[in-house]
Amino acid sequence: MIARRPVLAGIALAVLVAGCAAKQPEVTSKEGLAWIAQGSPEAIAAAVNALPRSNAARAERLHDALAHAMQSAPDRVLPLVGTADTLSARNVCVPMLAEGATPKEQKDDLARSRKAIESVTDPALAKAKEACLAELVQVETAVDRGEEE
C-alpha cells in the first residue's frame, strides 16, 4: 500500500488542479469579463489567448474588458499594446462608452483610463503609453463635440 500513496497523491493533485481550472469563468461570460476587468495576470492572459479565435462581438467584449483592466492594472495591459493586430491602442486603451451615458459619465470613464495610463512611469512602456494617450485624446475630443465614437 505504501507504493500507491504517491500515485494517489498525484491523482488527488490532478483532480485539485482540474477543479481550480474548472472554476475559471468563461472569458466572455459576465463573470469572465468582470474577472478580466479586475486586471489579474491570469485573466488578462486568458483574454489575450481568446482574442484570435473570437468573432467580432466576442472580441469587442474582450477588448472592453481589457480596456477596463487598463484602468486597474495599466502596468499589465500596456505591455500588450501593439503586439498583435487585435491588441491595438484603439482596442485596449479606450473602454467602450456606455450607451445612454451622459457626456459627464463618459468623460469620467475616460478620465479613469487617462489617470491609470499616465501613472505608468516605466520607460520601456513609453511608446505604448503615448499610443494610448493619443487614442484617448481622439475619443475625448469626440465626446466634447457630441460625436459618436
Average pLDDT, the chain: 86
Q: Please tell me the distance from the alpha carbon of residue 130 to that of residue 145, in angstroms, as a whole number.
A: 23
- DSSP-derived 3-state class of residue 26: coil
Domain ranges of the chain: 24-145
Amino acid in the structure at residue 67? A
Q: pLDDT tens, position by position, for the chain (149 residues)?
A: 444 444 433 443 343 344 444 466 788 899 999 999 999 999 999 999 999 999 999 999 999 999 999 999 999 999 999 999 999 999 999 999 888 889 899 999 999 999 999 999 999 999 999 999 999 999 999 998 887 65
Among the residues of the chain, which ranges form H helices? 4-23, 30-37, 41-50, 56-72, 74-77, 89-92, 103-118, 126-145
Q: Please tell me the distance from the alpha carbon of residue 112 to that of residue 119, in angstroms, as a whole number.
A: 11
Pull the grid cell for residue 6: 504517491
Closest C-alpha to 46, from 36, 31, 34: 36
138 Cβ contact partners less than 8 Å away, ≥ 6 residues apart: 149
> CA–CA distance from 109 to each of 41, 44, 127 (Å)?
22, 20, 23
Length, in residues, of the chain? 149
pLDDT of 5 reads 44
pLDDT of 17 reads 40
pLDDT of 148 reads 63
Model pLDDT for residues 8-33, shown as the tens digit of each residue: 334 433 433 444 444 667 888 999 99
Judged on CB neighbours under 10 Å (0-12, 13-18, 19+), 28 is buried
